Amino acid sequence: MPYHKLLQRQLDKLSREELNSDERFNRFVELVNSSYKAFEKDKEITEHVFQISQKEFSEINSKLKEEVEIKRFSIRRLKAALNEINIDEMETILDNDDDLLEIVDLINSQMSKRKEVESQLILAKKEAENASNAKSEFLSVVSHEIRTPLNAIIGMGHLLMKANPRPDQVENLKVLKTSSDNLLLLINDLLDYNKIEAGDLDFENAVFNLKKLLIEIVDLNRNKANERLNKLIINLDEKLPDLFLGDQARLGQIINNLVSNAIKFTKRGTVTINLILKNKNEESAIVEVSVIDTGVGIAEENLNSIFLPFKQVATSIVREHGGTGLGLAISKRILKKLNSDIFVESEFGAGSKFYFELELKTVVEKDSYLHSDQINHYNLHKKRILLVEDTLYNIAYATQLLEGWNAEVITAENGAIAVETMLTNSYDLILMDLQMPIMDGYTATSKIREFNSVIPIIALTASASSNVREQVMKAGMQDYVNKPFNPDDFYIKLKKYLN
């Protein structure tokens, strides 16, 4: 059997004749060779998927530009229709009290024009609605196509990091994780802004550790801070409870936007993140989050405009620092939905302070077991899980992850196979992808519920649609997990239904 080229090179250089005849040495070399080849295969899969994601992301930008042009055309039609109403003509005629017939003619003329305007407004409104619906549908499809391979990229990176990599591999994997996490944040910003525009942004209500969330956000941005020679400081109020009930992803999105911006506009300076308990009772606590930097600051005349979508203080900022200009706009609108607001204090050339207060529900003792901090060992104790998924690299990731937690994984590549295998086998839980060939996850779940109403079914979805929860519940599933999923959160959800 031919050896991997790197291994063969070392053998040619270092091995001796007597070793080649040693059976134990040959077995050892074969095991090393298998490890080399397995790593090369994982590397090829990751690189291929990442190339696909880059191509699809380029196509998104092109499509979004087309949708913006359609929207601008609709706005021009609306303005043109409104300009048809000639108020000046009405005032000129009304100055003449002698000709009643002329006044009647003018009124009839204005009524005809208004009817024409109404028709144009209705047409423009339909065009605007069609453009908006097309954009939402397009983003939903694109979300699935990007999140699916991104799930494998992030997931395989997680598994490789857990496999005791060499020090040089650790650095490469950290770069992979940071890049994929930042890509996911960028995609989420674009999709969330679309949801906010449509007025259907949804919120989770789950147990999470706020202090741990903040530390993870800082770790995510540490490399970027080091590149700009910035010092990161975290101040955590000792009186602050560990666990809260709320939407960890949304709150993390806001804080990450503030921390990322602070680092982006600061060089050789300091970024300080403060988490302070302002008030607490038996049911909730008011927490203040502030991010203070010593960066370039913001001129007073620009303090309000920075919260507008797609708005940055200058075009040079886009060239130098990048970004979509959506982070602060999304953060402000999310906080509005949570009955809060974001504030800024800044002086040009002297740094900035962004801060907000948020009331969060505290966790009662009976709910605390749902959080990973309360779980000592990640062990699913040979639970039989049916994984219904059609994408090979997501099957590989989910299988390795679940088997690493001692679960027994059986796979089905589409909903029809899942229904058939459920007729003759028993499982503890089903993980059901939603978009599959032959039979989708919704149809498969409905058919399974015809003869089995007990087994927990959790949807695996890469969709950006805001009504996923409603759809999966209607089909008969218990819950859903968004791709790409965090392994800790995924495990907590599995334990909840396997218990």
| Lowest mean pLDDT across 76-90, 119-133, 462-476 | 76-90
Q: Cα separation of 171 and 160, whole Å?
A: 12
Rg of the chain taking only CA atoms, in angstroms: 29
The long-range contacts involving 88-91, CB below 8 angstroms and separated by at least 24 positions, are none
Helices 210-227 + 248-264 axis angle, to 10: 20
Amino acid at 43: K
Which pLDDT belongs to residue 314? Answer: 45
Structure tokens at 498: 């396997």
Residues 321, 326, 327, 331: what is their CA dihedral angle, to the nearest 10 degrees?
160
Amino acid at 352: S
In degrees and rounded to multiples of 5, residue 495 shows phi and psi of -60, -35
pLDDT (tens digit per residue) in 288-326 = 999 999 999 988 888 877 877 655 544 444 444 445 567
Pairing of strands 429-433, 384-388: parallel
Residue 272 contacts residue 235 (beta carbons within 8 Å): yes
pLDDT (tens digit per residue) in 413-465 = 999 999 999 999 999 999 999 888 899 999 999 999 999 999 999 998 876 56
In degrees and rounded to multiples of 5, residue 209 shows phi and psi of -100, 110
What residues contact 70, with CB distance under 8 A and at least 6 apart? 127, 131, 134
More confident residue, 268 or 32: 268
Residue 385 contacts residue 393 (beta carbons within 8 Å): no
User: 288: exposed, middle or buried (C-beta count within 10 Å: 0-12, 13-18, 19+)?
Assistant: middle
Helices 327-337 + 248-264 axis angle, to 10: 150
pLDDT (tens digit per residue) in 466-482 = 577 788 889 999 998 88
End-to-end CA distance of the chain: 48
pTM, to two decimals: 0.59
Closest residue by Cα to residue 465 from 248, 257, 192 = 192
Closest residue by Cα to residue 430 from 465, 468, 480, 391 = 480
Task: Please name the residue that has the structure tokens 């620092």.
Answer: 321
Residue 71 contacts residue 131 (beta carbons within 8 Å): yes
Whether residue 273 has pLDDT greater than 90: yes
Closest residue by Cα to residue 200 from 276, 245, 140 = 140
